[in-house]
A and B are shown apart, each in its own frame.
Chain A
Amino acid sequence: MRLHDVCPSRPAVEPVMSAHFMAGQPWRFYRTLHRCGKHSAPLWAPARLWSSSSESPPLHTRALLFLTQRFYDVELLMGLNSELKRRTVQWKNSYNSYARQRLGMNIALAHFVLRLKGGFRYVGQDDWFRVDKRGKFSWDFLNHKNTPIEEVDLSHSLINFTGLQSLEGQQSLRTLSLRGCSQVDDWFLARLHIFQNSLEELNISDCPQITVGGLAALRNLRGLRYLDISSLPRISSPGLVVILLEEMLPQCHIVATGYDLSMFQDTVEDEKEIKEQGKTDNRHGSINKVRCKYCILMGVKEVTIHHGNKAVPLKIIHFCFKKYSPSLTGTANNWRGRLF
């Protein structure tokens, strides 16, 4: 096997692009594309990469080998999609200081909320200003220059930390709904201190980026009366967090649905036994797939079942554990039939 058969004759292309280049120097991008085209010509011709046989490798292998020599360019292309999304979020949240100066902050905020496909309600009025199915909204809000906004609904929108600047100065904002916002994170919650006197209801359920560190920042909202923190995926022990929040905000009503807050979760520790009380409701007793998987997640290696549900045969319970958590071993007391 000769040396120049192993390494192709053309040198590896020096990667000259990087993400922050593309913004300022598009000519480099085009130069690299041109170079890619020039160098891809040998791709179509059979390349002498396998020296012992004269046939060329299949096309997909040749394509992959071509790409491996252009690691940084491939990395840039892969990142283009996420970069585009990030820029969309930035654009949607940009602060419109000109509108704020000329038309007042209420109109600027109204337009901002409608652009994000949210809704709002003025103080003293009953009807909401929203976006219709097609994404269009009416420009009636231009008539209400001096009416402050009382409720803002930005559920499932792209609001983020920079967008909060547009909400600054609203002294009578009482309700803020941020359900399902993917860009709302802990820093956003920390910034909410600007509404510390007026905010009474806050809904941050289903926000995937919020953690306990951000919830600690809600201590500044002294006027909060209703808080919804359902289904936050990044909270590890939701029962404990709800209790701590209730201590921190004694006058607030906290709603936290969408978590499995049973005794099972709160008492499990690493590699300790768990005792399961059988119940007659469920066909499989109180054992189900989620709990079996939970055993593995919490590092539990052994399960002991006392006072088993005599109506549920041991075999079914054995089957559940073995199917969903195969590495668990188990024993059972007070059962008829054999052990695991």
Chain B
Amino acid sequence: MLTWRRLHVKVRAAHAPLTSRLVTRQHAWTHGHLTSCLKLSTSTALRKDFFKDVETTFVEMKKKAADALPSSNWSPFYINPNLPPERADIVIVGGGVMGWSIAYWLKKMENSRNGMRVVVVEKDPVYTQASTVLSAGGIRQQFSLPENILLSLASADFLRNVNEHLNVYNEDPVDLQFNQSGYLFLANEKVAHIMEENYHIQSQFGAQVSLLSPTQLQERFPWINTDGVALASYGLENEGWFDPWSLLNGFKRKAISLGVIPCTGKVTDFDYTVTLAHMYDQDVMVRRVKSVKVQMPNSPEYQPVECAIVINAAGAFSAKVTEMLRVGSGDKYSIDGIPFPVEPRKRYIYVFNCPDGPGLDTPFLIDYSGVYFRREGLGGNYIGGASPDEENEPDAGNLDVDHDFFVEKVWPELAHRVPSFEKLKVTSSWAGFYDYNTLDQNAIIGVHPLINNMYCATGFSGHGLQHSPGVGRALAELILKGGFETLDLSVFGLDRIMKQEPVLERNIL
């Protein structure tokens, strides 16, 4: 603006000798040397202004030119430093405890440093909806499938020596705050035989579990009301609960120190090729991922990451990842039409305080009605909840807590089982998602038959945290060595999903 005015005035001043004297007299210096168009401005005299500005512009231009010379790091294009690398070997979609466990084990088992580039993509760095940090944090060996028992034992082994595995030089050791309190399952007459059979399988595979009759139970835990209980199964060792956040951070810190690249972003799309194959007596389209499109948070900016292998560890949202590859949206009667059977299911956890409640020996008690609770800290606080029935599943669109559920479904059973819980006060609550496997509520581990280079480690339906060290190791072996070595988890393969043959846990609830 000022420049134009200056020019304007300059032109006028230049015009002065060319125009008639009458005209110029109109623009005579009646108000000193300031002409009428500059009268209202607050700047100084015209001539001085121009030269001073020229000097500063020269200085700026000189600085810009110096910046653009080769030895400086200025670049006219701004590159977002948080973008993932353009090429990676393995991209892990999902930065929960499973994703970071796999990343840690991959780096631990690679043969040479920087042998492969592993990128972990997590869309939410504060983990507001992630199942890991919202879980109750328990670990138990009381399953009926031998693979589940062995996975839990291997994970307990890992947690026992967690600082040998996850210790980073010059940093604090990992403190899991593990409570060695055991799990206590209560069964009524209808399901007592299942519990006994499970007990035999568990003892056979090395779990330290003991069976208790109602009298023994009453003598051991005097605060329990054994009405309706026919048999109880009590874990003596390697069972309890711990802090999931410290395990997640331990894995993350150690993996990053071994060279894994973390990335905050959302996987929105895949670039893939399609080939025709004949599988399960059908002609199917088999996809192969070429690159993963990672979008930066709150920005339309994205980076396509070319990769060799994609690992789907997205937990409750794993189905969205396979949907991007159009798996599950094909013809209903072909295996192309079978959607990925993992969906988020909301579960509530309520924190309540009962000053007269059971003391330090409270195990993680799970009743045959589906209600569970455990001790939290030393101040008479407990954490409890219940699994809802199939028909009354809460809406999994958000993480809002339904307090009526506690009053109607959880509290009566709790008060029936532990009489001192008749007087309790709910202090807080939260909700989290299970990565619920709609087929058989067991893990899904292995290569996807329809996606050549996608490995899945999801669908744990509430047991992901306690199996994460074992599953991480198994998947790393599968990728790097071609097959399972320490634990054979082929029973959890995706074959059963294509054939729709569930592998069920015989639980008492």
Pick from A18, A79, A219, A240: contact of B113, CB below 8 A: A18
Complex contact B360–A214 (CB within 8 A): no
Kindly state whether residue B160 has any CB partner on chain A within 8 Å: yes
Complex contact A191–B237 (CB within 8 A): yes
Complex contact B181–A216 (CB within 8 A): yes
Complex contact A248–B180 (CB within 8 A): no
Q: Give B239's nearest chain A residue, CB to CB.
A: A190
Contact A216 to B180, CB < 8 A, known contacts A190-B238, A240-B378? yes
Complex contact B359–A248 (CB within 8 A): yes
Complex contact B71–A216 (CB within 8 A): no
Kindly state whether residue B351 has any CB partner on chain A within 8 Å: no
Residues of B within 8 A of A41 (CB): none
Kindly state whether residue B249 has any CB partner on chain A within 8 Å: no
Which of B108, B179, B360 has the largest count of A CB atoms less than 10 A from its CB? Answer: B360
Residues of B within 8 A of A245 (CB): 360
Binary flags per residue of A186-201, CB closer than 8 Å to B gives 1, else 0? 1101110100000000
**Smallest CB–CB gap between B216 and chain A, Å?**
11
Q: Give A249's nearest chain B residue, CB to CB.
A: B361
Complex contact B378–A241 (CB within 8 A): yes
Kindly state whether residue B44 has any CB partner on chain A within 8 Å: no
Which of B71, B180, B182, B208 has the largest count of A CB atoms less than 10 A from its CB? Answer: B180
Given the complex of chains A and B, what is the CA–CA distance between A297 and B240 in angstroms? 30
Pick from B112, B208, B237, B360: contact of A215, CB below 8 A: B360
Kindly state whether residue B164 has any CB partner on chain A within 8 Å: yes
Subset of 19 A-B contacts with CB under 8 Å: A15-B113, A72-B113, A78-B169, A186-B180, A187-B160, A213-B178, A213-B179, A213-B240, A214-B180, A216-B180, A217-B180, A217-B182, A220-B236, A237-B378, A241-B360, A244-B360, A245-B360, A247-B359, A248-B360
Q: Give A83's nearest chain B residue, CB to CB.
A: B164
Pick from A3, A191, A211, A212: contact of B71, CB below 8 A: A3
Contact A193 to B240, CB < 8 A, known contacts A72-B113, A213-B177, A219-B360? no
Kindly state whether residue A161 has any CB partner on chain B within 8 Å: yes
Kindly state whether residue A22 has any CB partner on chain B within 8 Å: no
Q: Which 3 A-B pairs have the closest CB atoms?
A: A217-B180, A219-B361, A213-B179
Q: Give B379's nearest chain A residue, CB to CB.
A: A240
Kindly state whether residue A75 has any CB partner on chain B within 8 Å: yes
Pick from A86, A189, A212: contact of B164, CB below 8 A: A86
Binary flags per residue of A211-250, CB closer than 8 Å to B gives 1, else 0? 1111111011000000000000000010011001101100
Residues of B within 8 A of A213 (CB): 177-181, 240
Given A190-B237, A190-B238, 13 other A-B residues pairs in contact with their CB atoms under 8 A: A16-B112, A16-B113, A78-B170, A187-B160, A187-B180, A189-B180, A190-B240, A193-B208, A193-B236, A213-B177, A215-B360, A216-B361, A248-B359
User: Using a Cβ–Cβ cut-off of 8 Å, how many residues does chain A contribute to the interface with B?
Assistant: 34
Given the complex of chains A and B, what is the CA–CA distance between A119 and B108 in angstroms? 41
Q: Give A245's nearest chain B residue, CB to CB.
A: B360
Binary flags per residue of B165-209, CB closer than 8 Å to A gives 1, else 0? 000011000000111111000000000000000000000000010
Given the complex of chains A and B, what is the CA–CA distance between A186 and B237 in angstroms? 11
Given the complex of chains A and B, what is the CA–CA distance between A189 and B359 in angstroms? 18
Given the complex of chains A and B, what is the CA–CA distance between A187 and B112 in angstroms? 34
Binary flags per residue of A52-85, CB closer than 8 Å to B gives 1, else 0? 0000000000000000000010010011000000
Binary flags per residue of B217-248, CB closer than 8 Å to A gives 1, else 0? 00000000000000000001110100000000
Binary flags per residue of A14-25, CB closer than 8 Å to B gives 1, else 0? 111010100000
Contact A216 to B360, CB < 8 A, known contacts A15-B113, A18-B113, A72-B113? yes
**Smallest CB–CB gap between B235 and chain A, Å?**
10
Residues of A within 8 A of B160 (CB): 161, 187
Given the complex of chains A and B, what is the CA–CA distance between A214 and B237 in angstroms? 11
**Smallest CB–CB gap between A181 and chain B, Å?**
16
Q: Give B362's nearest chain A residue, CB to CB.
A: A216
Pick from B71, B170, B181: contact of A217, CB below 8 A: B181
Residues of A within 8 A of B178 (CB): 186-187, 213
**Smallest CB–CB gap between A309 and chain B, Å?**
33
Given the complex of chains A and B, what is the CA–CA distance between A75 and B181 in angstroms? 37
Q: Give A219's nearest chain B residue, CB to CB.
A: B361
Which chain A residues (140-183) contact chain B, with CB distance < 8 Å?
161
Residues of A within 8 A of B180 (CB): 186-187, 189-190, 213-214, 216-217
Given the complex of chains A and B, what is the CA–CA distance between A191 and B160 in angstroms? 12
**Smallest CB–CB gap between A31 and chain B, Å?**
13
Residues of B within 8 A of A240 (CB): 378
Residues of A within 8 A of B236 (CB): 190, 193, 220
Residues of A within 8 A of B238 (CB): 190
Q: Give A243's nearest chain B residue, CB to CB.
A: B359
Given the complex of chains A and B, what is the CA–CA distance between A56 and B229 in angstroms? 82
Given the complex of chains A and B, what is the CA–CA distance between A212 and B378 in angstroms? 9
Q: Give B179's nearest chain A residue, CB to CB.
A: A213
Given the complex of chains A and B, what is the CA–CA distance between A167 and B31 in angstroms? 109
Binary flags per residue of A33-48, CB closer than 8 Å to B gives 1, else 0? 0000000000000000
Q: Give A72's nearest chain B residue, CB to CB.
A: B113
Residues of B within 8 A of A189 (CB): 180
**Smallest CB–CB gap between A290 and chain B, Å?**
23
Which chain B residues (326-358) contact chain A, with CB distance < 8 Å?
none
Q: Give B208's nearest chain A residue, CB to CB.
A: A193
Given the complex of chains A and B, what is the CA–CA distance between A18 and B237 in angstroms? 34
Given the complex of chains A and B, what is the CA–CA distance between A240 and B361 in angstroms? 14
Given the complex of chains A and B, what is the CA–CA distance between A212 and B164 in angstroms? 22
